Amino acid sequence: MESCKKHIRVILYALPFILLAGSLLGAVTLAPASQDETGNLYKIIVQNAGDARALSALGVDAVLKIQDGYLVLALSEYERIFEENSLRFELIAANVSRSELAIDIRHDSSNVGRYPLIYVEGNLRVYQAHAGDLSESGEIAGLAPLPPQSLPIIYKTPVDKSIFSAKIDYNLDSLINLIEYDSLQSYVERLQAFYRRVAGTDSIYAARDWIAGKFTEFGYDSVYLDHFVENLSGSYADCYNVVAVKPGTSFPDVQIIVGAHYDAGSVSPGADDNGSGTAAVMEIARAIKDIETEMTYVFVLFDAEEWGLYGSYHYAGSAYANGDNILFMMNMDMIAHYQNDADGYSSYGNDTYFAQLWIDLADSLQGINITGHLAGGGGGSDHYPFQQYGYNIAYAHEYIFSTVYHSSHDSTTYCNFDYMTRMVKATFATVLAAAAANAPPPQLILSFPAGAPEIFFPNNEAAIQMQVEGYGGGVLVPGTVVLHYSADGGPYETISMTDMGGGIFEASIPGLPCYTRIAYYASAEEELSGIFYDTDPSRPNLAAFAAEMTTVFEDNFETVKGWTVSGEATVGRWIRRQPYFTLEGGPSKDYDQSGYCYVTDNPLYSDVDNGTTILTSPTFDLSTGDAVVEYARWYSNDEGGAPNADIFIVKISSDNGASWIDVEYVGPVVEASGGWFIHRFWVSDFIGPSPTVRLRFNASDLAANSVIEAGLDAVRVFSYNCGLPLQIATGAISDWTVGMPFSLALEASGGYGAFTWIDKNADLAGTGLTLTSDGLLAGTLSIEGAIAFTALVSDEVGQTAERPYGFTINSYPNITTLPIPSASVNAAYSFQLLASGGTAPKMWTDRDNDLSGSGFTLSQAGLLSGQSPDTMTVDFTAVVTDAAGATVEKPFTLKVNLPYICGDADHSGAINLLDVTYLISYLYKGGAEPIPPASGDADHSGAINLLDVTYLIGYLYRGGPEPVCP
């Protein structure tokens, strides 16, 4: 297909240059050509962001930024690549290298004719001059080498000039009078008194300290020295930019640089060049010190300008690397030559806006009376490095060029301080007006002081704090800070957030059960600009009520973690790398700035072709709880012959990739034009719990001639859980005895945190028992009979479990045995004591151990047994104790008698009429006692009386029952 041919052509054309530059095809970055490599110097026109992106992706060596594009070094083969990409180009010089090129930094034209002139644009002159030509017998040559590294290729949209007049509310006519003639003159006089101020010498170090001291004297507390080391005429020297910072009140991250160089030529006092510019920066810093400014002003006095703009290159390069947001750089160099009065130059770089602003103010404000002349920016002063790094600039300088330039006569004698004062007033007005005219509309910034909460404890109010700050003069409408939240996908509820002071607002989501999913965002109204949000409401913050949140898987792709690439695509397959711009919509940086991410290839023309490229994650365990998957994705399908035709698909699997479920479709239009976007989803919306979960990201080229680029970064999977299921572990409760204290700790398993117990239906009321919150069932039972209740336990995350219980409360124990029968000498004895009531098991004891040595024992089961060879009487106390600890006792007497026949009162060995008369004699005539006495108790009544007589008569003569003695 055509796109394949396209890729092949570009790779073949690009390969020689890439190899020459020391980078393999597909490497992370393209290294710039080294100083001794030769190539052709081309002028490339950059008219829009697409041109800039295309040129950047080719990896050519951008050596200079010019008004309408760049000068680049490339091999001649690149001409065909430029044509294919519709890049307009012009060959400037053949077979040159970086080390042969230099920029003219003199303000006059004395270098013209001394070196071969390669390129001219306005005041910019580029010569073919070797490094050895950059000094003249140790003197400053007025030539600067090219920047040491390839420049970033940037296109900036021109500033909207229509916003100027409507937005300036400064009284500039009044404020410019803060600039004082006397101050300017005194500064220049002091500067020329530092002998020569040559970079790397003691005199400039003294000037450095004086300037820094003046900034401090003006009241600046952020004054610092920006150190760098530079090769000055063959030897390295310490150099220092002097910097003072005035932070902005509304837009502190937006900077206006006000700068000039403070070094001078080796034979010159440097009054006009550039004591005048240095004094101007200092005076503006003094005048503006107590004016409230929305943007940050940075005052920089540059070192080593005369040797090659070294100080400003150092500062501008660092600012670009740091990502500094610079509105524009205002440079002043030579603004005081005595022959000037009513005219001045205002030079521009990439955009005329700020230079024209200077001209408009110089001509209109009362007392300035200078006609400004617009001039194309040259390479001769400190604005130029800022221009090279893509920043807007304006450069004020005198109209009639100094007649004593770089000579011993460049002193205050040849300075017009009235003219200089008016030039500085115009500049002061410009830096004030530029900030006012370019200030963004008032805004509100909503943020979470401690980060957006991702977890709330179940069944507890979820307090959320939001910080609301005005930006750019933004004013909050009172009472408009609102928290919006949705529970488990339901409709959004709103809560007005309470003003806690200090810009902090708070609201609480009502406590909800564990695993309740929450989506939320906050809004606030600015009085002029309307509603602002902490996040796009279509992409709310996600959280959950849960006990714990655990990061299951996290990958920023800085290390290899087992992702796999598959699919039938032949070009643009997923690859882990540090990205840089392609020609076709791919990312130039990873999302989280850690370095690496996955992209669909990346160098040159590298979009996906011939099918689908599939990126599959390693396996992770989501078998418990619920989980959120979060990732940053990039997708572009809006270029090529079939824009917005393909889609990007995200999938999830619960069976280790055996089957897949679609999670998200990106495109064909929304979020399909590049850019990093964060997306999150709940795993349970698509699959159930599983220990073998995987993700998949599909980028496809299915439409004819479509151009597809994709990226993936910052993948995070985090799970929520509330512990194991809560269960009551305590089994059946044993029966108990009335009146006895009871205590049993109920136990539960699983759950999370501390447990809370209740008697669910209050069934224990009136029983003497209570169930405490920590699960202790205790009390003294006050009733008899069956008891039933339901125990309910809950944990800290709201899980509950319950269990019904039933048990019996028995009556208090009672010994029911009557007097025990006697034992006989040498006869085995066994008698069971009995007790009613109580809770089994019941245990019997001989309280005082009275049976010891008698030959008789009382078992725990209540059996009295044993034998004795002798007659005896034993008194003992039997005690019974039940399972509840209830005890009862009863005294007993055990008699051991000689062997006898019951009813044989006379001990004759037989029961007959004589025993009847024996008993009558004993009872009524004082006769002898029966032998043994028990033998006379024929009816087993416990006493000998007339009934025993009749009992024996009935037995002997009437067929009555056999005598039964104790």
Q: Where are the domains of the chain?
A: 2-145, 168-437, 443-546, 552-720, 724-810, 814-897, 901-966
Q: In this structure, what are the phi and psi dihedrals at residue 608, rounded to the nearest 5 degrees?
A: -70, 135
pLDDT at residue 378 tops 90: no
Q: What is the pLDDT of residues 555-581, one digit of tens each?
A: 999 999 999 999 999 888 999 998 865
How much is the average pLDDT of 115-127?
Answer: 89
Q: Among candidates 267, 258, 260, 274, which has minimal Cα distance to 191?
A: 274
Q: In this structure, what are the phi and psi dihedrals at residue 666, rounded to the nearest 5 degrees?
A: -110, 130
Strands 295-302 vs 235-246: parallel, antiparallel or unpaired? antiparallel
Degrees, nearest 5: CA angle 573-577-583: 65
Q: Does 177 or 940 have the greater pLDDT score?
A: 177
How far, in Å, CA of 939 to CA of 949, rounded?
A: 9
What percent of the chain clears pLDDT 90, i.e. is strictly above it? 69
Q: What is the pLDDT of residues 284-331, one digit of tens each?
A: 999 999 999 989 999 999 999 999 899 999 999 999 988 899 999 999
Are 383 and 395 spatial neighbours (Cβ–Cβ below 8 Å)?
yes
Q: Does 811 or 100 have the greater pLDDT score?
A: 811
Q: What is the pLDDT of residues 798-855, one digit of tens each?
A: 889 999 999 999 999 999 998 898 898 999 999 999 999 999 999 999 999 999 999 9
Q: Does 448 or 459 have the greater pLDDT score?
A: 448
CATH superfamily of the domain spanning 168-437: Zn peptidases (3.40.630.10)
Are 483 and 453 spatial neighbours (Cβ–Cβ below 8 Å)?
no
Q: Report residue 167's pLDDT band, with 50, 70 and 90 as the boundaries.
A: very low
Q: Report residue 13's pLDDT band, with 50, 70 and 90 as the boundaries.
A: very low
| Weakest-pLDDT range from 141-155, 262-276, 637-651, 952-966 | 141-155
pLDDT at residue 455 tops 60: yes
| Weakest-pLDDT range from 185-199, 413-427, 760-774, 898-912 | 898-912
Class of domain 814-897: mainly beta
pLDDT at residue 151 tops 50: yes
The token pair at 418 is 């009235």
Are 579 and 695 spatial neighbours (Cβ–Cβ below 8 Å)?
no
How much is the average pLDDT of 865-894?
Answer: 96
Strands 117-121 vs 124-128: parallel, antiparallel or unpaired? antiparallel
pLDDT averaged over the chain? Answer: 89
The CATH number assigned to the domain with range 443-546 reads: 2.60.40.10
pLDDT at 19: 30
Global pTM?
A: 0.59
User: Is domain 552-720 given the CATH code 1.20.1250.20 in the classification?
Assistant: no
- H or E element, residue 328: strand 325-332
Beta bridge partners of 543: 518
The token pair at 198 is 């040559």
Q: Where does residue 109 rank: exposed (0-12), middle (13-18), buried (19+ CB within 10 A)?
A: exposed
Whether the domain at 724-810 and the domain at 814-897 fall into the same CATH topology: yes
How far, in Å, CA of 611 to CA of 706, rounded?
A: 11
Q: Give domain 901-966's CATH number out of 1.10.1330.10, 1.10.3720.10, 3.40.630.30, 3.40.50.880.
A: 1.10.1330.10
Q: What is the pLDDT of residues 725-758, one digit of tens each?
A: 899 999 999 999 999 999 999 999 998 889 999 9
Question: Helix (H) and strand (E) counts for the chain?
Answer: 14, 58
pLDDT at residue 357 tops 90: yes
Class of domain 724-810: mainly beta
Contacts of 736 (CB under 8 A, 6+ apart): 742, 781, 807, 808, 809, 810, 839, 883, 884
Are 755 and 748 spatial neighbours (Cβ–Cβ below 8 Å)?
yes
Are 455 and 480 spatial neighbours (Cβ–Cβ below 8 Å)?
no
Place of tokens 């151009």: 707
Q: In this structure, what are the phi and psi dihedrals at residue 300, rounded to the nearest 5 degrees?
A: -130, 125
Amino acid at 957: Y
Are 689 and 624 spatial neighbours (Cβ–Cβ below 8 Å)?
yes
Are 274 and 261 spatial neighbours (Cβ–Cβ below 8 Å)?
yes
Q: What is the pLDDT of residues 59-97, one digit of tens each?
A: 788 999 988 899 999 999 899 989 988 899 999 999 998
CB-hemisphere CA count at 13 Å for 700? 18
Q: Among candidates 235, 397, 241, 400, which has minimal Cα distance to 312?
A: 241
- Checking 759-767 for CB contacts under 8 A at 24+ apart, the result is 759/789, 759/790, 759/791, 759/792, 760/789, 760/790, 760/791, 760/792, 760/802, 761/789, 761/790, 763/787, 763/788, 763/789, 763/790, 764/789, 767/809
Are 819 and 861 spatial neighbours (Cβ–Cβ below 8 Å)?
no
